[in-house]
Amino acid sequence: MQADEYDVIVLGAGPVGETLAGRTAEAGLRTVIVESELIGGECSYWACMPSKALLRPAAALTEARAVAGASQAVDGGLDAAAVFARRDGFTHHWKDDSQVDWLDSVGVDLVRGHGRFTGPRRITVDTSDGSPRTLTARHAVAVCTGSRAVVPNLPGVAEADPWISRDATSAHEVPPRLAVVGGGVVGVEMATLYQALGSQVTLLVRGEGLLPRMEPFAGEYVTEALREAGADVRIGVSAASVRREAPGGPVTVGLDDGGEVVADEILFATGRAPRTGDIGLETIGLEPGSWLEVDDTCRVKAMDDGWLYAVGDANHRALLTHQGKYQARMAGGAISVRALDKEELDTRPWGAHVATADTAAVPQVVFSLPEVAAVGLTAAEAERQDHRTRVVDFDLGQVAGASLFADGYRGRARMIVDVDRGHLIGVTFVGHGVAELLQSATVAVAGEVPVERLLHAVPAYPTMSEIWLQLLETYRS
């Protein structure tokens, strides 16, 4: 058995693990990364990149149809084969050569295989060539193993061979009928995509509406748009059973209200669980399959001597790629400072070695049609946290830039002001093209920019960014 000693071992080579390994290697720490699948992880091959590559043609077509002069040139619908081929280019046809080259260029060693803890600071890897290899860490081990899709344990589910998000984003054919279970981000985006590609989509949502963690009006706009596109959106309905009589045959979904839905495929978009069930956590006194609670430097609280870190989805702070990479930058810096003892660890609020924006100013975009972009708290969350607030809403369609963007533009913006501190704590936009408005909102929330100062950040005319002027003037009135 080959044994190696490193300063830092990173378990998982998705965007989070790659970012952390790059930081510690840059600091001069001998770093190794362990990965059992493709280097680049879920985001690169089955989530962020392929899903957005698939959704962009649908958005472009929708936007063209909404502008007189362009709409007359639109003839027909999406070319599914071309849409899938474009996606394949962004996933590099599920090959990770370029990612491996990057690790090489920054001096990070790679061990391919499934890694498990076999004791403190020790990882044993069942390598791809069949020979076990043991790695030990002088300073830190970082768990960056991400999360996996959860499929509910319903009668008939296993035999029905349902889709999860990976199947939806890597498919090469469009099912004539698709049932989607779940009204969160994945469910909404995949329902949007496949309805645009020509499926008859039935979206089953057990709660009170789509996108339940966002402002209610966001889900309402998206629901209306999906229904206008031809999707059957059913609110307050749950899947109770699944039946597929023959491989490749239709799927019958039994509903809790006694009804049934028949589809050619069923996609479960019903949440995520940590990929920590088979990494040997029991050998270091932790519960297999658990989320790992961390401090603001992403160090696992349950490990007394401070060598274990959990970064990205595994710590359950914010299950978003950009937030995981942010954590990785902070944690990589903290690991390096602690290991090299060259400078003082910066643990001030918003300091150089602590992750705070993954709890206080989390931005997220839902690439539905229309888009939803939000950062910070919703009005309901602010109320639950006892903030004294003023909520300001404005019709995006009344902004000159939005009316130029699309004829009959429909959308809405909301900002939430903490009136005691005088700055924004939450912003939500709904409408076509609003994703690019989000960074300005994130700067305002994360930077705690006083509202009176924001009044001097003059938006260019005529752009959609003039929504800021309208929100702020409404707040002053």
Rounded mean pLDDT, 328-349: 90
**300 and 235 belong to one structural domain:** no
Q: Is residue 79 part of a domain?
A: no
Per-residue model confidence as pLDDT tens digits over 125-175:
999 788 899 999 999 999 999 999 999 999 999 999 999 999 999 999 999
Of 329, 357, 385, the residue that ends a domain is 357
Q: Residues 73-92: what's their mean pLDDT?
A: 97
- Mark whether 387 and 349 lie in a shared domain: no
394 within some domain: yes
Mark whether 344 and 280 lie in a shared domain: yes
Confidence of residue 2 (pLDDT cuts 50, 70, 90): low
Q: Which positions ≥6 away from 290 have C-beta within 8 Å?
A: 274, 276, 281
Q: Which of 357, 380, 413 is the last residue of a domain?
A: 357
Judgement on whether residues 239 and 217 belong to the same structural domain of the protein: yes
Averaged pLDDT for residues 91-106: 97
Mean of pLDDT values over 252-269: 97
Q: C-alpha 139: how far from its chain's center?
A: 30
Q: Are 142 and 18 in the same domain?
A: yes
Across 166-193, average pLDDT = 98
pLDDT at 3: 59
Number of separate domains in the chain? 3
Residues 14 and 32 in one domain: yes
**Statement to judge: residues 229 and 332 lie in one domain:** no
What's the confidence (pLDDT) of residue 253?
98
Are 189 and 225 found together in one domain? yes
The pTM of this model reads: 0.95
Mean pLDDT of the chain: 96
Q: Is residue 134 part of a domain?
A: yes
Q: Does residue 342 carry a pLDDT above 80? A: no
Q: Tell me: do 165 and 143 sit in the same domain.
A: no
User: Which tens digit of pLDDT belongs to each residue from 227-243?
Assistant: 999 999 999 999 999 99
What is the residue range of 440's domain?
Answer: 370-476
Residue 16 falls inside a structural domain:
yes
In a domain, 83, yes or no: no
